[in-house]
Structure 1
Amino acid sequence: MKKYVIRRIFQSIPILVGITVLTFLIIQLAPGSPMETMIDPKISPEELQRAQDNLGMNDPVFMQYFNWLKEIVQGNLGYTVKSGESVAHLIIERLPATLILTGSAFVLAFVIGVPFGVYSATHQYKLPDYLLTVFAFIGISVPSFFFGLGMIFIFALQLGWLPASGMETIGGNATGLALFWDYLKHVFMPAIVLALPTVAVVMRFTRSSMLEVLNQDYIRTAKSKGLGTRVVYLKHALRNALIPVITIFGLSIPFLFGGAYITEYIFNWPGMGSLGIQAIEGREYPVIMALNLFTSVLVMSGNLIADIMYAWADPRIRY
């Protein structure tokens, strides 16, 4: 198992290098320049040229890439063009809020999706199965911004049960359990909105995989031995049925971070998603590149976690 993990980590290194190349080239091909948002009508062409030289924007593309990569390896993600603030500092400042939101959505997705999928499979072609299927199609089809605005309208504006935006009550001095409850009320709606598509996908994958496993010979053998239905479903069927679901487990991590852009913007959540939208609007290319690189690393980490879980669930894979 240890050799398998080490081999997978080494295989990820050239992929990561390729990701940095693609990230850099995509930003280079983007129209416009961050300098266009800073141009003073009274600035002379010489001063503009000097500013571009200081930023290294006139160097050859390959030199710009290697300079950027060298700084990335040293832990320097660059500085914002307008304010000169450290990009790494901005990301670290926003990261906890995004981790709270995506972590809550991740837990909800699998805590709800897997049991619903198992229940749907064990009640095939019955009313609960049809109801859960309709729920899954709604979760996949409804856009997150529409669902989020609908929840704000109902639970925040009409009923007044939950706050409409933010991460905590402005001006609140709550501590301890009261502060935790305040965070919980603020994260509930955005976490539900962010988790809903993943819940639907996990539920459908679990249902399909469970139905395939339940038709296997060893399941019929376990039943014929007189084992209880709960033991057959949970001990013998579920573990094998979860192997395809592990794929969703790994890929849902970057998916949730990507979906957080829209969700954080709707609920005014102070995380990396709202930072990314602000960077796009302001053409803050260093911030966009850092966020793209961060998301790419998440994709690789998710795939690595999925592979490790595959090897745990099915020992044949590690060999």
Structure 2
Amino acid sequence: MAAFILRRVLHALPLLLAVVVLNFLLIAFTPGDPITLLVGDFPAPPEYLAQMRSEYGLDQPVWVQLGHYLWKVLHGDFGYSFAAQQPVSSLILDRLGATLELTLTALLFASVVGIALGVIAAMRAGKPLDGGIQALGSIGYSVPDFWLGQLLILAFAIGLGWLPSQGYNPIRGAAPGWEGFVQHLHYLVLPAFALSLRYLTLITRITRAAMLEVLHADYILASRARGAGEWTVIVGHALRNAGAPVLTVIGYNVGFVLAGSALVETVFGWPGIGRLLYESISKRDYPVMLAILLMVSATVVVANLLTDVLHRWLDPRVERA
């Protein structure tokens, strides 16, 4: 297992480096000048604009900027925000907690409910319940997150008035204790559901397919012939052996959930990294954009690495190379 993990890490490091370089080059060659946005409509003289570009290092060749950026990243320095006028690392840390809360809640909800629905659909394969779950899954997978968020706001915030439409906590602040926790949950429900629905339906479909393949195996028939209870057969044998592909798809989508939170956070006014990325794109705040893209890329690489390790642990038959 140690050699397996080492090989995966050695494969991940050059991949992450290539992603960092590609992200930098894509942003560097994007049309637009962040200095003009910083100056605004003020008729600044060309000398002042040249001085600003020199202070931020934007007057140097791209390959020189790339070298400086890689050197800073290796030392944990992600630069200085053009728009916020503060270090990028502190700016991201201030928003990280809200994004982790939203994405982990959405991923946990999608995983638990998706696996449960997938098992139920497989146990009722070919019956109306199975058909209904598959039909709802197809609809849920095809609905864009941001559009679903707007529908949820229209239905549950504006129409019924049950839940708030935007924000993280009440404007006057959450109440202390349990009451404040419940108030905060009201703000979390809609964005978490909007972010989770697409992945919930995907996990449901993968779980159903994996369970159908396992339920026809000989050892399942033998387990039932020995008098094992249905709960033991489904959970102890079938779901355990069908868990590898389900775990793979969950781990593979961790990065997509984090990246997909940008539009959901913007729709619901959630003060997380996704909304910060949206704001930095509109302001051409290159250091913030690069740092967030690096974080998302690193999250994808680490999530895939952990998924490979867990897959190898669940199924030792996985190729060791």
* 1:309 equivalenced with 2:314 (yes/no): no
**More deviation, 111-120/14-23:** 14-23
Q: Is the 8 A contact 1:4 1:318 kept in 2?
A: no
Separation of aligned partners in 2, 1:21 and 1:83: 24
Q: Which amino acid aligns with 1:25?
A: L
Q: Which amino acid aligns with 1:230?
A: W
**1:99 shift after superposition:** 0.6
In structure 1, what is the equivalent of residue 95 of structure 2? Answer: 94
In structure 2, what is the equivalent of residue 147 of structure 1? Answer: 148
Q: Which amino acid aligns with 2:10?
A: F
**Within-5 A mapping of 1:147-166:** 147-166=148-167
Q: Which amino acid aligns with 1:147?
A: L
In structure 2, what is the equivalent of residue 38 of structure 1? Answer: 38
CA shift in 2, pair 1:83/1:141, >3 Å: closer
**1:224 shift after superposition:** 2.1
Separation of aligned partners in 1, 2:194 and 2:61: 44
Residue 38 of structure 1 aligns to a residue in which SS? Answer: helix
In structure 2, what is the equivalent of residue 29 of structure 1? Answer: 29
**1:45 shift after superposition:** 2.1
1:155-193: per-residue Cα shift (whole Å, max 9, x none)? 111222111111111103511111211111110111011
Separation of aligned partners in 1, 2:239 and 2:161: 41
Separation of aligned partners in 1, 2:26 and 2:234: 48
**1:240 shift after superposition:** 1.4
Q: Is the 8 A contact 2:168 2:184 kept in 1?
A: yes
In structure 2, what is the equivalent of residue 256 of structure 1? Answer: 257
**Within-5 A mapping of 1:214-233:** 214-233=215-234
Gaps in structure 2 of 5+ consecutive residues? none
Moved over 4 A (4+): none
In structure 2, what is the equivalent of residue 77 of structure 1? Answer: 78
Q: Which amino acid aligns with 1:128?
A: L
Q: Is the 8 A contact 1:95 1:271 kept in 2?
A: yes
Q: Is the 8 A contact 1:106 1:253 kept in 2?
A: yes
Separation of aligned partners in 2, 1:315 and 1:307: 11
Q: Which amino acid aligns with 2:3?
A: K
**1:66 shift after superposition:** 1.1
Separation of aligned partners in 1, 2:4 and 2:84: 45
In structure 1, what is the equivalent of residue 136 of structure 2? Answer: 135
- For the aligned residues, what is the CA RMSD? 1.4
Q: Is the 8 A contact 2:174 2:183 kept in 1?
A: no
Separation of aligned partners in 2, 1:217 and 1:144: 41
Separation of aligned partners in 2, 1:46 and 1:136: 59
Separation of aligned partners in 2, 1:183 and 1:298: 26
What TM-score does the superposition give when structure 1 sets the normalisation length? Answer: 0.96
CA shift in 2, pair 1:172/1:44, >3 Å: closer
Separation of aligned partners in 1, 2:204 and 2:21: 36
**More deviation, 231-240/269-278:** 231-240
**1:303 shift after superposition:** 0.3
Gaps in structure 1 of 5+ consecutive residues? none
**Within-5 A mapping of 1:1-319:** 1-39=1-39, 41-317=42-318, 319=320
Q: Is the 8 A contact 2:174 2:184 kept in 1?
A: no
Count, aligned residues: 319
Residue 315 of structure 1 aligns to a residue in which SS? Answer: coil
Separation of aligned partners in 2, 1:317 and 1:264: 38
CA shift in 2, pair 1:222/1:81, >3 Å: same
